[in-house]
Amino acid sequence: MATDTRLAADLDTASLHGSLEDPALSSMNLLNEIADRYPQAVPFAAGRPAEEFFDTDDIHRALRAFADHLADERGMSPAQVRRTLFQYGRTKGVVHHLVARNLAVDEGIEVDPEAVVVTVGCQEAIYLVLRALRRGPEDVVLAVAPTYVGLTGAARLVDLPVLPVASGDDGVDLDDLLAVLRRARREGLRPRALYVMPDFANPTGLSMDRAVRQRLLDLAHREDLLLLEDNPYGLFRSGRDRVPTLKALDRHRRVVYLGSFAKTVLPGARVGYVVADQRVADRSGEPGLLADQLAKIKSMLTVNTSPIAQAVVGGRLVQQECSLAAATVQEQQRYARNLRQLLDGLARRFPAGGPPAAAVRWNAPVGGFFVVLTLPFAVDDQLLEYSARSHGVLWTPMRHFYDGPGGEHQLRLSISSVTPVQIDLGLDRLAALVADRLGAGP
């Protein structure tokens, strides 16, 4: 009998979009697979929010609160409320006014609700902006490196090269930014924007101080560069006063602000947003908002963000008078306590005194979810797998956040979904891994 060899495969990735052969698109899957194989390992890898505050009844309460808000404050009839929840809806969303109020209350950002596009998580917001900005092969986006893998992945989907800019100790190295910009332009490239996470960046945990933010804004204005400010962790500071966001300081509509409710309300709603108040000229001559251009793309991507999911987030905002800073005090305290415990625990296990552990270094973020460790040996996916299997502790190799070289001796620890007991246990296991790797054996 002849074998039909075509049955072996119907398609080949070599004939599909190039992104599908790119490591950036498989990075999350690969890490999740390792984590799934070792459910008992301490999860210093997961960047997802703590689950201890989840309560299923909250979903019902939030839905009711939003429906009441539509009726009482927006003057909708019961039929209009039902239509808002059930039917196809406004492309830019139905909680835009609450998002704008939240930004005013928590961030001091004043925006026209019409400049807000509610998206399927912040990831869709990133995609919409990159899709709009990539016109031709000369377009490039800059990103502070190491970079959140979601930025790199979305850029791959629109064939937009990502040029790394050094982070330095300030969260962005402005000299390097200027050098990268000028080199790109000399080469005929058109840098469209710089992607930054000024507050407790993923993965470095670094924040920019106010002077750096102001210099970055000045440079962006001078060089005609947009700034894509992503801010999922801003509320989770540890003690100190917050520095204003770039968007709050923006005087020249240089900043496109990317927002997420994944860490402040819940990831399962998949509701984020983008504030895009830039004026865009089109052939009709009448300048409109960049938000309306993004909405045109969204209408062909997801049509609109589920109004039921929006209602869960909108209800939570209504319940909290639009302040998530006030609503997340418990979460803030939990994350701050975890971060302190992690940093103290690292200092105890790797004291400045004696080698070989002295070669272990780490940074000391004042908030957010992440700490970066630098180790005296190579850190890669094989070591992660070994760590999970032999030592029962998970973390993220920093290599995953670099498009080019970088992070070869570093790993990221996340404090968001571990308990105090797990932190101590995980650090003991991490110390054992280090000793193991340095040949001292546990």
Residue with smaller CB distance to its own copies, 315 or 426: 315
Phi, psi at residue 150, to the nearest 5°? -65, -30
* Dist. CA 205–CA 369, nearest whole Å: 7
Nearer to its own copies, 304 or 410 (CB): 304
**Secondary structure (3-state) at 229:** strand
Report 324-353 residues binding its own copies (CB under 8 A): none
Q: How far is the CB of 260 from its own copies (least distance, A)?
A: 11
Residue 360 Cβ, how far from its own copies at the closest point, in Å? 30
| Interface pick for its own copies out of 1, 8, 352, 421 (rule CB under 8 A) | 8
- Which residue, 181 or 373, is less far from its own copies as judged by CB? 181
Strands 370-374 and 410-414: antiparallel
Which tokens hold the place of 91?
Answer: 């492309």
Greatest alpha-carbon span in the chain: 76
Return the number of the residue (350 or 402) whose C-beta is nearest its own copies.
402
Nearer CB in complex with its own copies: 166/297: 297
DSSP, residue by residue, 46-87: --SPPSTT--HHHHHHHHHHHHHHHHHTS---HHHHHHHHHS
Encoding tokens for residue 92? 């830019």
Residues of this chain, 27-86, that bind its own copies according to CB under 8 A: 28-29, 48-49, 51, 54-56, 59-60, 63, 67, 79, 81-83, 85-86
Taking the complex as a whole, the smallest distance from the CB of residue 126 to its own copies amounts, in Å, to 9
Q: Which is nearer to its own copies, 169 or 286 (CB)?
A: 286
Query: Taking CB under 8 A as the rule, does residue 434 contact its own copies?
Result: no
DSSP-assigned beta bridge partners for residue 237 = 367
Q: Is 153 in the site for its own copies (CB under 8 A)?
A: yes
Directed axis angle between helix 307-319 and helix 56-72, to 10°? 80
User: Could you give the C-alpha distances from 248 to 103, 106, 230, in angstroms and in order?
Assistant: 9, 11, 13
Give, as ranges, the residues between 405 and 424 that touch its own copies (CB under 8 A): none
Rounded to the nearest 5 degrees, what angle is found at the Cα of 416, between the Cα atoms of 415 and 422? 55
User: Of 108-127, which residues contact its own copies (CB under 8 A)?
Assistant: 120-121, 123-124, 127
For position 21 contacting its own copies by CB under 8 A, the verdict is yes
Q: Which of 300, 354, 404, 439 binds its own copies (CB under 8 A)?
A: 300
Instruction: Check the CA dihedral 385-390-394-398 and report its sign.
Output: negative
253 in Cβ contact with 279 (< 8 Å): yes
Q: Which region among 20-28, 355-363, 393-401, 402-410 touches its own copies (by CB under 8 A)? A: 20-28
Q: How far is the CB of 326 from its own copies (least distance, A)?
A: 21
The residue within the footprint of its own copies, chosen from 184, 189, 297, 438 (CB under 8 A), is 297
The residue among 26 and 382 lying less far from its own copies, judged by its C-beta, is: 26
- Counting residues that bind its own copies (by CB under 8 A) gives 86
161 binds its own copies (CB under 8 A): no
- Tell the smallest beta-carbon distance from residue 271 to its own copies (Å): 8
DSSP 406-427: --TTEEEEE-TT--HHHHHHHH
Minimum CB separation of residue 290 from its own copies in Å reads 6
Q: What tokens does 9 get?
A: 């495969």
Nearer to its own copies (CB atom), residue 309 or residue 430? 309
Neighbouring CB atoms inside 10 A of 172's CB total: 25
Q: Which is nearer to its own copies, 307 or 397 (CB)?
A: 307
CB of 316 to its own copies, least distance (A): 12
As measured in angstroms, the least distance from the Cβ of 388 to its own copies is 20
Where in 263-282 is the site for its own copies (CB under 8 A)? 266-271, 278-282
| Shortest Å distance, C-beta 88 to its own copies | 5
Under rule CB under 8 A, residue 9 binds its own copies: yes
Q: What are phi and psi of 29, to 5 degrees?
A: -60, -45
Q: Other CB atoms closer than 10 Å to residue 286's CB: what's the count? A: 8
Closest contact distance (angstroms) between CB of 29 and its own copies is 7
User: Where does residue 364 rank: exposed (0-12), middle (13-18), buried (19+ CB within 10 A)?
Assistant: exposed
Contact of 124 with 272, CB cutoff 8 Å: yes
